[in-house]
Structure 1
Amino acid sequence: MATTQAATPAWPVRRLALWALLLAVALTLAGLAGRWAGDNATAAARLAGAQRLDSYAVSLENLLSKYDFLPGTLELNKDVIALLQRPGDEALRGEVNAYLEQLKQRSGATTIYIVNLEGVTQAASNWRLPESFVGDYVAFRPYVRDALRGIPGGFYGVGTTSGEPGYFFAHGIYHQGRMLGVATVKVNIEKLEQSWERGAGEVMLADARGVVFLSSVPEWKYRTLVPLTAAARRELETSRQYFSHPLTPLDMRELRQLDDGTSIVSLPSGLEAPTLSQTLALPSRQWRFVYLSDLSAARTSALSVFLFALLLQALLFMLVVYARQRRRVHAELEIKVAERTASLREMTQHLSEENLVRRVAEEKLRRAQSELVQAGKMAVLGQMAAGITHELNQPLTALRTMSDNAQVLIERGRMDDAKGNLATISQLVARMGALTGQLRQFARKADASVSAVPVAAAITSALFLVERRVEQERVQFRMTMREQQVLALCDSNRLEQVLVNLFTNALDAMADSVERHLTVTVERKAQQALITVADTGPGIPEQVRSHLFEPFFTTKPQGKGLGLGLAISEQIVREFGGELRAEAVAVGACFVIALPLAQQETT
């Protein structure tokens, strides 16, 4: 009896321990479920944030890339070159100011200005305004310093004169291989913020020092992600990049570090609201995007799943009759998870396919550029077709006549005369072979490699293709070699294509001229091989000169040209590292091909 009384109290204790264990297991499982739901919601936010960062980066690069080429084009304007050579010519300064003002309106840039080697602005598109840049000293700006050292500069900053922020492009202005000054283009990129403000999260764009200069939240602009060091603050004060802004730090604290550069932070508002911070670096400009996603929904989802899991487990223990219903709810939950996983997988596959399509498009573009150069050759050959046909018909007629004569001479036993006829036939065949061989060499596709090319040999080969037309149109051709054996670093076949195009244009221009002279001069100057092609045609009007190298621009009658010859030629010479330009002369037209000398020429 004593034994029974001693064992009775032990059962409630064991039951209490069992219930405590079950409750602990239930809480643990519910906690894991809540964490899983929170992680899923966070992962979805990370994926959406990464996509938005990629979209913002592409939009930014597209905007800036539209203006990358603009500073480099200013050195093609002869008035800009002349102003930097004659800074005291006020009439010339007025013309350049008007040109920059017009170019600014056409391009959509904020300001365009020209700086000399001392860092003083010589001309500007805002010359009419009270805050005109003309006469300003800007050599302290990093982008001007870089451009003066020969490095194309890119810089975001607040204007010291106008107070307006923008991105500055700077490019050296060169003439005959010597730097004369710097061309600068300022572009407003603040309009990007308007699209950012419509996003689900908040976005910031910061420089290498962590200074935020663009943001979807106006109060965060010109604040720093981390406190600036004394050295960094001195550099900013020297360059006046952000002018008078105090650059105070943002009150944003990191709460938890995640993988691949993301973290959980608190917003600068001071609230402890969980926020996902994602960063995308732009190495080419030393900038970085920071995207902040509100995780309140993720926490709510985790809490909801946690409570749901507790309720589900309570129902499992308390309401057995609802077991079938519980299984159906569980199945529905699995289906939702599978659908979300499938959706994410499909989205990933779609992005991969878009990336593949982009690479294929880039490859097609490269092939199209190569085919365009080849099409230029075929167009030249088509224009020379009549002369080539005549050039081949004459020896073919002679071959037929002399072969018939040789047969008769052999039948009559006049072997010596027959041998003479056969020797002449051999010479005619060799002549035809040389012509067709030269055409085949000209028509073949050239590769992108360069080598030391004798300039005189290239001119001779090109002249061979238009020789018949030169003779028929009674054009006097003269070639002057001021240096012996000038070797240029290029591809011979593509150089011949450029020369044939210039020769053909010169012959077309002299069609109605009384005096027809085609002059080619070769010389070495400033580590370059210079090939000058001049004619005695009507010349090039000033209003046409600025459009010469634009694709599909032509002054020839309809059906006589596509306007691609000079554009393709200029592209070919530029790929060699050289320059094709038109120079003003008293009579006719003059084109200069400037190519880098081959190694043996420079030593």
Structure 2
Amino acid sequence: MGGDLRDSLYPSTAFNPRLVWTGACLFAVGLIVAFAYAWGERTGIRALRQGVEHRLDIYAGGLQSELTRYDYLPGVLSLNKDVIALLQDPGNPQWLARVNHYLETVNRKAGSSEIYVMDMEGLTLAASNWNRPPSFVGRNFSYRPYFIDAAKGLPGRFYGIGTVSHTPGYYFSYGIYHDGKMLGVAAVKVDLDKLDDAWLRADEKVLVVDENGVIFLTSVPAWKFKTLAPLSPHTMERLAVTRQYHRAGSLAPLGMAEISRLPDGTRVIQFASEPGQQEASGNFLQPSYLLQSRPIPGTQWKLMALSNIAPIHARARNTAIAAALAMGFLSILVLYLQQRRRTVVQSLAASAALQRAHDQLERKVAARTEALSNANRHLQTEIAERRRAEEELKSTMEELVQAGKMAALGQMAASITHELNQPLAALRTLADNAAVLLQRGRLADAEENLAMIGQLTGRMGKITGQLKKFARKSPALLKPTSIAVTVAEACFLLEQRLRQERITLKIDVPEHACAYCDGNRLEQVLVNLLGNAIDAMMHSDDRQMEIQVRQFDDWVSIAVRDSGPGIPDELMHRLFEPFFTTKEPGAGLGLGLAISAGIVRDFGGILRAHNRPEGGAAFVLQLRPAKLEETVDV
């Protein structure tokens, strides 16, 4: 017993090689799919990085070429004698006009934005836009870093937004010397925004940031004059002094954040909010970018390229899916070959066992045939016995119904005897009187007595005829039956008893009420229900009984109600059980309601009982409706 208990508490787990093999295969497939995804991602990033590095060389070369293209111009101006003369005599209108025209011609041929000459105080004396508003002539740019560097004898380089033209550009500046003395500063403004047009066609996002992290050249217009990170208050104050990004907005941060770093140090970044793209696409899931950068020689700028790595992830997923499909196909192929081998083995085994099974089958068929023959004979015997039992049950039921009738007649015997004794006593008296009247010659009075004798004889015949009809033994025959006629005949049988018990009977039966049933048996049910109601009111002061009939589309309802004490709740469910009775011992066998319920079921109806709210009990019959014009002899 102890061993059984241990076995039930700690069931043994048998080693299943198939489950282990399946788990190992699934694990291997998972590793291969993960390796395929990692390999596809690594290969894609390597190819993307190499391509972007090559294009970064091209972008950097183009930007450097654009910067060096104009680097010579400020130095050329120091060789012009008119420029030297103007700086030595700023108020001479002749030198001013000649220098303005000279600067305008050089600017047009060089393709620069503007060229202008300033004295040592930063005041612009002559400019290429001398005749175009807004002109630089008379403007003081001493606060600009490119002027400050040139005034110190250094070559000035500066990118910023013009405070006069309000357009961005790159400024070159050199000091103008004569006999070793600096007389002024020459400056050239170049428009670099045309580089953005070439970058717009690039697959990646290209941007150039200055030493402060401000984006001033980019292939994404919405990023221009944004910052890679929030600027410090000191930097914002310094930019305000130089007016580098005059009227460029608040220099808001772009919200770039590093989310991962590749083994080679390449960063993967994502934007918290990508200006100009989220609103257009409605996609709130920001993409990830591969960030590659390089410095621009000769400047403090940095050239950066952002490549969307979503296509790389998509190709890596496709590679992993392809690997999974290949492994799935290979697994299916292996399973097919195993199943094929197993099928061949099973086929050989089946061929070997087929002959043995054939011999066994023949023996089993012979045995089963004999068993089936015996079973068939036994079944036929059971069917015959069941039919005899059904016939006996039907006969018993008929006898039970007839016994119920006789029991009802026995209960009515006293009242019927009283009903017949009165007419018999009257008949004897009337007959004696008629003889005396005839002897005395009073023929008229004798005829009157004889007429009364005839009426009494007819009443007695009606009573005995109704009793004979009620007691008649006949099979149930369902047909359209008038409910009014049946109710009247049942009440006639109990008329004397109702008078003796001083019971007030109310009958509410429509003349057209008709149902499919056997009239004689329905009369038996009503007599039983009415008799039970009379017995129930035996000790009641208020003795009222009601028969109410209602015909609906789906059924005919016959309700028998009394004013007795009602049916106890604990006995309600046993009312229709055979041999169950609430009457005193010897008053009945308890079969009346059981027989009545069986008769109603044979009609296809229902007999149920309930207590009335105002007191007393009610028995309700529900029968199938019929049309009155179909009614035949009841």
Matched, 1:262 2:276: no
Q: Tell whether 2:242 aligns with 1:239.
A: yes
Q: 2:88 aligns with which of 64, 70, 85?
A: 85
Matches within 5 A, 1:131-280: 131-245=134-248, 246-259=250-263, 262-267=266-271, 268-269=273-274, 271-280=285-294
TM, length-normalised to structure 2: 0.49
TM-superposed CA distance for 1:35, in Å, is: 0.7
Please state how far the C-alpha of 1:250 moved relative to its aligned partner: 0.3
The offset of 1:10, in angstroms, is 4.0
Within 5 Å, which residues of 2 pair with 1:11-410? 11=14, 13-245=16-248, 246-259=250-263, 262-267=266-271, 268-269=273-274, 271-320=285-334
Distance across 2 between alignment mates of 1:94 and 1:206: 39
For the structure 1 residues 319 and 302, does the alpha-carbon distance in structure 2 shift closer, same or farther, using more than 3 Å as the test?
Answer: same
For the 8 Å contact 1:277–1:292, the answer to whether it is kept is yes
Change (3 A) 1:51 1:322: farther
Change (3 A) 1:43 1:75: same
CA spacing shift, 1:259–1:165, aligned 2, 3 Å? farther
Structure 2 Cα separation of the partners of residues 98 and 241 of structure 1: 29
**Separation in 2 of the partners of 1:231 and 1:109?**
33
Further displaced range: 262-271 or 91-100 = 262-271
Taking the aligned partners of 1:282 and 1:66, their CA distance within structure 2 comes to: 15
Q: Secondary structure at the match of 1:255?
A: strand
The answer to whether the 8 Å contact 2:208/2:303 transfers is yes
Q: Equivalent residue of 2:70, what SS?
A: coil
Moved more, 101-110 or 24-33: 24-33
What is the identity, as a one-letter code, of the residue corresponding to 2:255?
D
Q: Could you give the per-residue CA deviations for residues 19-54 of structure 1, whole angstroms, max 9, x where no partner exists?
A: 223312221221011011011111111111111111
* TM-aligned CA distance change 1:40 to 1:265, over 3 Å: same
Tell me the distance in 2 between the aligned counterparts of 1:314 and 1:102.
75
Q: Aligned partner of 1:250: which letter?
A: L
Unaligned runs of 5+ in 1: 324-603
Question: Identity of aligned pairs, percent?
Answer: 41
Task: Report the Cα distance in structure 1 between the residues aligned to 2:91 and 2:318, rounded to whole angstroms.
Answer: 77
| Structure 1 residue 258, shift from structure 2 partner | 2.6
Equivalence for 1:534: none
What secondary structure is seen at the aligned counterpart in 1 of 2:244? Answer: coil
The answer to which of 259-268 and 297-306 deviates more is: 259-268
Distance 2:69 2:47 in 1: 34
* Structure 2: gaps spanning 5 or more residues: 275-283, 338-634
CA contact (8 A) 1:224 1:249 kept: yes
Letter in 2 for 1:192: L
TM-score (norm 1): 0.51
Give 3-state SS (helix, strand or coil) of 1:136's partner.
Answer: coil
Instruction: Tell whether the 8 Å contact from 2:213 to 2:229 is kept in structure 1 after alignment.
Output: yes
Q: Distance in 2 between matches of 1:130 and 1:203?
A: 34
Counterparts in 2 of 1:10 and 1:161: CA distance versus 1, 3 Å: same
| TM-aligned CA distance change 1:153 to 1:261, over 3 Å | farther
2-structure distance, mates of 1:322, 1:222: 65
CA spacing shift, 1:264–1:155, aligned 2, 3 Å: same
Secondary structure of 2:117's counterpart equals strand
SS at match of 2:207: strand
Mapped partners of 2:336, 2:287: distance in 1: 38
The one-letter code matched in structure 1 to 2:64 is: E
Contact between 1:204 and 1:215, CA under 8 Å: does it hold in 2?
yes
Matched letter for residue 249 of structure 1: P
Question: What amino acid does structure 1 have at the position aligned with 2:82?
Answer: D
State the one-letter code of the partner of 1:178.
K
CA–CA separation in structure 2 for the residues paired with 1:212 and 1:129: 30
Task: State which structure, 1 or 2, has the greater radius of gyration over its C-alpha atoms.
Answer: 2
What amino acid sits opposite 1:298 in the alignment?
Answer: I
Q: How far apart are the structure 1 equivalents of 2:85 and 2:265?
A: 52
Alignment RMSD: 2.3
Q: Deviations over 1:511-561 (max 9, x none)?
A: xxxxxxxxxxxxxxxxxxxxxxxxxxxxxxxxxxxxxxxxxxxxxxxxxxx
* AA in 2 matched with 1:27: G
CA distance in 2, matches of 1:254, 1:189: 29
Q: Distance in 2 between matches of 1:175 and 1:68?
A: 20
- Alpha-carbon spacing, 1:72–1:12, altered in 2? closer, same or farther (3 Å): same
Amino acid at match of 1:317: S
Indicate if the aligned counterparts of 1:274 and 1:294 stay in contact, CA closer than 8 A.
yes
- SS in structure 2 at match of 1:76: coil
Given that 1:113 and 1:121 are in contact with CA atoms closer than 8 Å, whether structure 2 keeps it comes out as: yes
Opposite residue 288 of structure 1, the aligned amino acid is: K
C-alpha distance 11-301 of structure 1, shift in aligned 2 (>3 A): farther
Contact 2:166 2:247 (C-alpha < 8 Å) held by counterparts: no
Measured in 2, the distance between the counterparts of 1:272 and 1:75 equals 53
> Deviation of residue 265 (structure 1)?
1.3
Change (3 A) 1:17 1:321: closer
**Residues 178/104 of structure 1: CA separation in 2 closer, same or farther (3 Å cut):** same
Deviations 1:445-486 (A, max 9, x none): xxxxxxxxxxxxxxxxxxxxxxxxxxxxxxxxxxxxxxxxxx
How far does residue 132 in structure 1 lie from its aligned partner after superposition? 0.6
Do the aligned residues in 2 keep the contact of 1:315 with 1:322 (CA within 8 Å)? Answer: no
